[in-house]
Amino acid sequence: MKFDTPAGQNPIDQLKVVGKPTDRIDGKFKTTGTAPYAYERHDVAPDAAYGYVVGAGIAKGRIAGMDLAAAKAAPGVLTIVTADTAGTLGKGDMNTAKLLGGPAVDHYHQAIALVVAETFEQARAAAALIRVDYARGQGRFDLDEALKTAPLKGDSSGEGSSAPPVDRVGKFEQAFAAAPVQLDAVYETPDQSHAMMEPHASIARWQGDELTLWTSNQMINWGKGDVAKTLGIPKEKVRLISPYIGGGFGGKLFVRADAVLAALGARQAGRPVKVTLQRPLMINNTTHRPATRQRIRLGAGKDGKLVAIAHESGSGDLPGGGPETAVSQTKLLYAGANRLTSMRLAVLDLPEGNAMRAPGEAPGLMALEVAMDEMAEKLGMDPVQFRIINDTQVDPEKPNRKFSQRQLVECLRLGADKFGWAQRSATPRAKRDGAWLVGMGVASGFRNNITMKSGARVGIDRKGQVTVATDMTDIGTGSYTIIAQTAAEMMGVPLDKVTVLLGDSSFPTAAGSGGQWGANSSTAGVYAACMKLREAVAQKLGFNSNDVSFADGKVRSGNRSVPLAQAAGTSGLSAEDSIEFGDLAKKEQQSTFAGHFVEVGVHAYTGEIRIRRMLAVCAAGRILNPKSARSQVIGAMTMGVGAALMEELAVDKRFGFFVNHDLASYEVPVHADIPHQEVIFLDEVDPMSSPMKAKGVGELGLCGVGAAIANAVYNASGVRVREYPVTLDKVIAGSAMIA
């Protein structure tokens, strides 16, 4: 099905099942421990051996020698995979560094060996016996130093945020110089880790020359292609299976070392092999969100209208990598005639920087939305009102191109009303609750809406049971449920009459989970397949397909009614189709918007920061399942708390690695850190987006939260921190005596 005209009235608009707050279908399996994750597939590989990954002990250089003798002689060892035994390996399209190093080492903890043994303990013990001699090379590990000579570099995150090396509209420098009110400030965001609960894990099994991988991967089709390319085998010889994934956040968009090494280990051992990356290797071996250095300049008239906007960002990555596209949202979020954005990319020898939840906008808004608050203060304006008067209903760089839907102002006004913004004091340090200084902060949320071709196969059996099969994944986002809701709505059956099969590359290719595109695109693919199946049912029954309805398990046309099971017959019926998106997104800008509000307490004597309450008001098209959508947003808000207050990978600039590479020292929010959270969804449908008239919402919940927290800390304490995370030492340093 080609989607190249705005959606009209269709069966989804009945909203009998879609749009209802529905418990997650997979919830009972996950809460009872019966949802099998990749490492737990004992049913498919009961005789699997265990692999243990050895990571490089240097960040840059070469392996001069590797002594495997003691490890090979250790109890239970079956084989050891190294670059010497693996043969010629390619590099997938999606990863920057090779997944198996040697003799060259590209980054710290790059996999250089896999020990395969009968038990995990035997593999781990033998891995400790491997002796590696390194010839250490000169590495580049200091972002600030590298940015001094870094070239301009444009790119796309592949997830909706993109920018050229330099983008100019109007005459920024002249307009900024002439502006009555100016802001020129630099903001820093650190390297951050996904830190998902389930580590990267895979089980590999060969049957002849065909490979099956049970793995934890967000994008099945991408992964299948990269495995095939890395191993140098035909794509049709590879099958990936990922029905349950314990968190990804972008860290599992691409195949990592566990999958490739499991395949190599299984081939060498002649039996299935299971591999999981031990937690310390996850942070240095896989991908992370790169640090940024962002300069923002704003110029405004005394009426508060922006006349000049500049956002320049610098980040680093391995050779061949790309920049963090932190300036992307600034191209679209606020009006202003004279504009400048630019990005620089430094070459670093740190582990690979790549997509992490809401790449581009998440760190970009951490800077832009603090700058907007600082500018509002300079103007003597309320921060909410300042944002509202600089709203635009058209692309500010292409004024003839309007937004398909844009309710940012409504998000901000409703949020301010519900949060009690009128009680906020514009004067910092004005409100106190015992020993706590109390403040409120606001920020706009923005995330582009993108769509991706997505397919599905839908069938009906002789009992009237509807089965959907698609390689779409569920990374804890509720894909099983919204896909079932879509099929139930389209075929006129209750939810318990729908079975959903996900995460298998033998199923039709879907969008996969990433970039906030998964829900809208994958359900649109199911919609397309259901439309095709409805047509097949109508033709079989001799009904006019233009005058047919599916409801209560029956097919009706005029005064005729046939049970769906009877229509399917003893052999059943099935149909397969995909949604292919035309150029509607080029005609009108498709984006999602939010207003984020936060109240914090800052201890007057210690500088300790505590979140007191949070609110997100979101405008993101039709909400397919308000219950799971709310969970997505509050999860993103929680991630925003981590980014604002605690998450930071500490770089050892001497030896080139992230020092705090475990969950004991890389801090993330826990339940005690998160107070009351509230989410409001505006009533909105977007016919330009898809037949579902929906958009993504999961990453929107993160975009802007960090800045709202930083702004609240300033309102409470009077200390402006421009270097994330906002920690108590920085608050104390900003004030000679907080109390």
pLDDT tens-digit profile of 341-379?
Answer: 999 999 999 999 999 999 999 999 999 999 999 999 999
Residue 7, phi then psi, degrees to nearest 5: -65, 135
CB 23 within 8 A of CB 187: no
pLDDT computed for residue 546 by the predictor = 86
pLDDT computed for residue 739 by the predictor = 52
For 687, half-sphere exposure in the C-beta direction (CA atoms, 13 angstrom radius) is 7
pLDDT computed for residue 734 by the predictor = 87
pLDDT computed for residue 158 by the predictor = 75
Distance CA 364, CA 448 (A): 13
Q: pLDDT-based confidence at 162, cuts 50/70/90?
A: confident
Instruction: Please tell me which residue, 575 or 545, carries the higher pLDDT value.
Output: 575
Average pLDDT over residues 282-287: 97
Q: Which residues pair with 201 in a beta bridge?
A: 276
pLDDT digits (tens, 9 = 90+) for 657-708: 999 999 999 999 999 999 999 999 999 999 999 999 999 999 999 999 999 9
pLDDT computed for residue 735 by the predictor = 77
Residues 6+ apart with CB under 8 A from 184: 295, 296, 297
Q: Is the pLDDT of residue 594 over 70?
A: yes
Q: Is the pLDDT of residue 535 over 70?
A: yes
pTM: 0.97
Average pLDDT over residues 236-263: 97
pLDDT digits (tens, 9 = 90+) for 83-137: 999 999 999 999 999 999 999 999 999 999 999 999 999 999 999 999 999 999 9
CB 298 within 8 A of CB 309: yes
> Active site includes 236?
no
CB 308 within 8 A of CB 281: no
Q: Is the pLDDT of residue 737 over 60?
A: no
For the domain covering 2-35+451-586, report its CATH number. 3.30.365.10
DSSP 128-193: TT-EEEEEEPP----HHHHHTSPPB--EE-SSS-EE-SEEEES-HHHHHHH-SEEEEEEEEE--B-
Catalytic residue among 489, 588, 684, 699: 699
Six token digits for residue 233:
């085998």
Distance CA 112, CA 628 (A): 41
Pairing of strands 432-433, 436-448: antiparallel
pLDDT computed for residue 736 by the predictor = 53
Average pLDDT, the chain: 97
For residue 198, give Cα distances in angstroms to 275, 287, 361.
Answer: 13, 15, 25
